[in-house]
Amino acid sequence: MLTLRRPLLDICLYLLLPAGEGRILGYNNGFHYQDISNGNGNGEIYFNGVRLFVESPQSSVSATRGSSVTLPCHYHYEPELATPRRTRVKWSWLPANTVTTTVPPEAFTRETEVMVAMGNRHRSYGNFQGRVRLRRSAPGDMSLVINELQLNDTGRYRCEVIDGLEDESVTVELELRGVVFPYYSQKGRYRFNFFGAHQACQDQDATLATFEQLFTAWEEGLDWCNAGWLADGTVQYPITTPRDGCGGADLDPGLRNYGQRHRLLHHYDAFCFSPSVKGTVYFLNHQTQLNFTEAVRACVNDGGEIAKVGQMYAAWRLMGLDRCDAGWLADGSVRYPITKARANCGPSEPGVRSFGFLPPYLKFGVYCYR
């Protein structure tokens, strides 16, 4: 219990140094720790029999993009202490596997700092600077408030409370509310390698779905018999009604998993994740039907832009967009969103109906985003 751990020392250094210098010092001999420790020099005696508890009532929190979220974290001592101790708090973050680059995945398995705080002093880091604070609504409340949530803020957050001698932590998962949708290339089925899939989702204002997101979508009823890339580099598809050609009729419902595939050489579709959209997706009122070029221009003339597939799915799923008129979308596909299934508006379940990619001279309505 009395060993000094590296993270603890690092925190002390960060707080002692002016902005930007904390990271330069990689190692120290504990001198700084002595400098700012709780003071009386016999903390270990003081601490006999007292235990630090760090807790969170929620192990996962979900929120919408652009909103604020609170990740709960509280600490207390048992037995209760008569005099308050100077406690340090460090929030760090392990990004969800939505970050996809050519760097091997191990590069992303390291936690990075979000914020460290000691007393009333605190510092936030990187992309979190200016967007995070501690809630401090009661003694021991170290809940982290994040403003202006971004698509890439998802992942596992660790609340670490450090008391010089003890160091306890709890983790809270942050998910964005959104919708998973399958996506395939304009060139046809199974044309994306991993990087192509990543780009295709981005082009639709979405990201490659994580395993957890696809699993949740499957729990909510998604059934799709085409394999697609996920953010972790695996290829899977969700089946709720087992049947031949989709893993077999004898197999239980679930995610069919091809495992890790070669990111360059193997080709599949993609599962994208679209978080809630800030703006509105709407069917443009226009006297005549439009070809694709006219559709793009009509949305611009209306003060918006032609909607992307991810925006259409988010509006359908999260805002109840329902319209039985086929319209162009930005990728050159023609679709319409149905939340209340009815006659002449496609199958008996809700969904975004798709005619796929159509020749641009054909005439339809258009869905815009503003």
Ligand X SMILES: *[C@@H]1O[C@H](CO)[C@@H](O)[C@H](O)[C@H]1NC(C)=O
Q: Among residues 148 and 219, whose Cβ is nearest to ligand X?
A: 148
Q: Does 294 bind ligand X (CB under 6 A)?
A: yes
Q: Does 361 bind ligand X (CB under 6 A)?
A: yes
Work out how close the CB of 152 gets to ligand X at its nearest, in angstroms, rounded to a whole number: 4
Helix (H, G, I), strand (E, B) or coil at 149: coil
For ligand X, which residue of 240, 260, 293, 301 counts as binding (CB under 6 A)? 293
| Dihedral over alpha carbons 320, 322, 326, 328 (to 10 degrees) | -30
| Residue showing the smallest CB distance to ligand X in the complex | 361
How many amino acids of this chain bind ligand X (CB under 6 A)?
Answer: 9
Helix H, strand E, coil C: the string for 337-361 is: EECCCCCCCCCCCCEEEEEEECCCC
Binding residues for ligand X restricted to 166-185, rule: CB under 6 A: none
Binding residues for ligand X restricted to 233-292, rule: CB under 6 A: 291-292
For ligand X, which residue of 38, 64, 127, 280 counts as binding (CB under 6 A)? 127
Structure tokens at 24: 């330069």
Q: Among residues 248 and 356, whose Cβ is nearest to ligand X?
A: 356
Work out how close the CB of 252 gets to ligand X at its nearest, in angstroms, rounded to a whole number: 37
Q: Among residues 27 and 361, whose Cβ is nearest to ligand X?
A: 361
CA distance 170 to 3: 20
Residue pair 315/348 in contact (Cβ under 8 Å)? The answer is no
Work out how close the CB of 325 gets to ligand X at its nearest, in angstroms, rounded to a whole number: 19
Q: Among residues 173 and 322, whose Cβ is nearest to ligand X?
A: 173
Residue pair 281/315 in contact (Cβ under 8 Å)? The answer is yes
Q: Among residues 79 and 130, whose Cβ is nearest to ligand X?
A: 130
Helix (H, G, I), strand (E, B) or coil at 34: helix
CA-to-CA dists, residue 369 to 65, 111, 140, angstroms: 16, 36, 44
Would you give the distance in Å from CA 88 to the centre of its chain?
27
- Name the residue with tokens 């192509």: 196
For ligand X, which residue of 101, 240, 360, 370 counts as binding (CB under 6 A)? 360
Q: Among residues 76 and 158, whose Cβ is nearest to ligand X?
A: 158
Closest CA to 157 of 70, 232, 233, 88: 70
For ligand X, which residue of 28, 34, 60, 152 counts as binding (CB under 6 A)? 152
Structure tokens at 246: 């989709």
Q: Does 150 bind ligand X (CB under 6 A)?
A: yes
Work out how close the CB of 216 gets to ligand X at its nearest, in angstroms, rounded to a whole number: 22
Q: Does 147 bind ligand X (CB under 6 A)?
A: no
Q: How many CB atoms lie under 10 A from the CB of residue 207? A: 25
Residue pair 292/327 in contact (Cβ under 8 Å)? The answer is no
Q: Among residues 101 and 241, whose Cβ is nearest to ligand X?
A: 101
Residues in contact with ligand X by the rule CB under 6 A: 127, 150, 152, 291-294, 360-361
